Chain A
């Protein structure tokens, strides 16, 4: 629970680029591959991930340090984090459905998908492993979310252009998407030298 470690900006930058949760850690792959055909839906899902990841990082941080650690229940964090994420997503979906029709149209239908997105659980676990403070965790959650958003929108942009490309039959679909993800991952790794991170 210490406030030591890298500064907030560094954490954010690292989470978006050098340590992109999707392209360097390969978390949240299934929805990344499934919902990256159109830029518009990719933005919708990405925005939902940013929101849920930021909010659940804060909630899970509080649950972990004020509930699980005092009772010495570190080993229960996986199951507890998942329950918290699931309940939070449900709640947010209900609120959005009630408050804003356009927002529900854009975001609401993606929220249930996110409950089982492993990147959300991954971000919560990393913030514990790296001993981030509450502020650091929130920034890390937001950064990871934005990183995921950037990756899926870039992917969707490329795949929209691929529609006009001649792709070998055997590679069409998931095959070419995985190759592109690999190339994108290498490009993102190039950022690592910039701040002398990782």
Chain B
């Protein structure tokens, strides 16, 4: 009886091992495409490991393409233009590519494998994206569901970014995810502070990354970040500015305002910050401080559901309703928005209604 059991286990194990060995050999021979050359923007030449997905191959060489899902083909963010050597578009890429993108040879880099020498085009800013190891040095509760986390960079030790840009935080596997994944957060600190990054992270129920940050991340933890990404930020000129944000939309605005204060900007800025209740407001003192440092800056926090016990004597109402009080005519103004998609849409409608030109409305949509 025992013998029979042993033979059963042995034979199945032997078959499995034999097949596994066969797979390993196949991987090293059939799956081995050798080294391939990838020319980036007709300028930089990278030697990458063939057979890998383009996303992984580029990451190995220090070129980071933004991707939220970690390469599983479920976010559609990691698009790259493959000008030569691409071949046919795979069925797994099709749902993410519009007809225009297909014609322009845009590919989903997490699905497309490097089998030939390639020519690719990526936004120039991606070439300065680096991966950083960082230590969590401070976690502060700004409100009941929003934390400010400070990451001190360990290697490389400094980062260059523009106010308004974002970084991606790598979420290590834990009970809600088996694979590492990435989430984007706007930098809330000033670009002049190169050795640390402050992110403002709001808790979203069931959110994989936010649950990890709010429940698991502790001071002293070592994490991986990459960035900077994004083209949201202050445009040069001397137009008056309206800023509108809610919740963690505060982060890029704070970075932009700190940057303006350091550079001694005299532009007129009105910043409408909206939230539901008094207890959702944060960084009031810091904003009042900035009002002193910036000669023409006005911060207007507004609460849409005021409560008698709060003792709130400031502005009440929705930002879209109170906007005309502060900006009766938006014809000469430029606007900066940061909020979720639906809220951004409502802001844009309210801004165009008071005459702000659509092409002068810049926004950072955090979904």
| Contacts from A to B (Cβ < 8 Å) | 63, 67-68, 71-73, 75-76, 79-80, 83-84, 87, 90-91, 94-95, 97-98, 101-102, 105, 109
Contacts and interface: CB of A to CB of B under 8 A. Distances in A.
Contacts of A102: 88
Contact of B15 (A72, A84, A91): A84
A47 to B, nearest CB: 15
Interface of B: 4, 7-8, 11-12, 15-16, 19, 22-23, 26-27, 30-31, 33, 87-88, 90-92, 113
A82 to B, nearest CB: 11
Contacts of A105: 88, 90
18 contacts: A72-B4, A72-B7, A73-B11, A76-B8, A79-B12, A83-B15, A83-B19, A84-B15, A84-B19, A87-B22, A90-B23, A90-B26, A91-B22, A91-B30, A94-B26, A101-B87, A105-B90, A109-B90
A67 B30 contact: no
Contacts of B31: 94, 98
Contacts of B19: 83-84, 87
Nearest to A105: B88
Main secondary structure of the interface of A (DSSP, over half): helix
Contact of B30 (A80, A83, A94, A109): A94
Nearest to B19: A87
Contacts of A80: 12, 15
List the 9 shortest-distance A-B pairs measured between CB atoms, nearest first: A87-B19, A109-B91, A94-B30, A105-B88, A98-B30, A71-B7, A94-B31, A101-B87, A71-B11
B11 A68 contact: yes
A72 to B, nearest CB: 8
A101 B11 CA distance: 37
A91 B30 CA distance: 9
A70 to B, nearest CB: 10
B359 to A, nearest CB: 41
B92 A109 contact: yes
Contacts, number: 50
A80 B21 CA distance: 16
Contacts of B90: 105, 109
Given A68-B11, A91-B23, A91-B30, 15 more contacts: A63-B15, A67-B15, A76-B12, A83-B12, A83-B15, A83-B16, A83-B19, A87-B19, A87-B22, A94-B26, A98-B33, A101-B88, A105-B88, A105-B90, A109-B92
B11 A67 contact: yes
A71 B3 CA distance: 11
Max chain A Cβ within 10 angstroms of own Cβ: one of B23, B30, B33, B92:
B30
A61 to B, nearest CB: 15
A84 B7 CA distance: 19
A79 B27 CA distance: 24
Nearest to A75: B8
Nearest to B9: A76
Contacts of A83: 12, 15-16, 19
A82 B269 CA distance: 67
Contact of B23 (A63, A67, A72, A87): A87
A99 to B, nearest CB: 9
Contacts of A71: 7, 11
A144 B7 CA distance: 33
B38 to A, nearest CB: 19
Contacts of B4: 72
A76 B8 CA distance: 8
A105 B91 CA distance: 8
B115 to A, nearest CB: 8
Nearest to B14: A67
A97 B115 CA distance: 10
Nearest to A99: B30
Contacts of A79: 12
Contacts of B91: 109
Contacts of B8: 73, 75-76
Quick one: which of A98, A101, A109 has the most chain B CB within 10 A?
A98
A76 B11 contact: yes
B30 A95 contact: yes
B12 to A, nearest CB: 6
Given A90-B23, A98-B31, A73 B15 contact: no
A72 B3 CA distance: 12
A87 B87 CA distance: 27
Contacts of A63: 15
Contacts of A91: 22-23, 26, 30
Contacts of A68: 11
A71 B10 CA distance: 11
A80 B12 CA distance: 7
B185 to A, nearest CB: 35
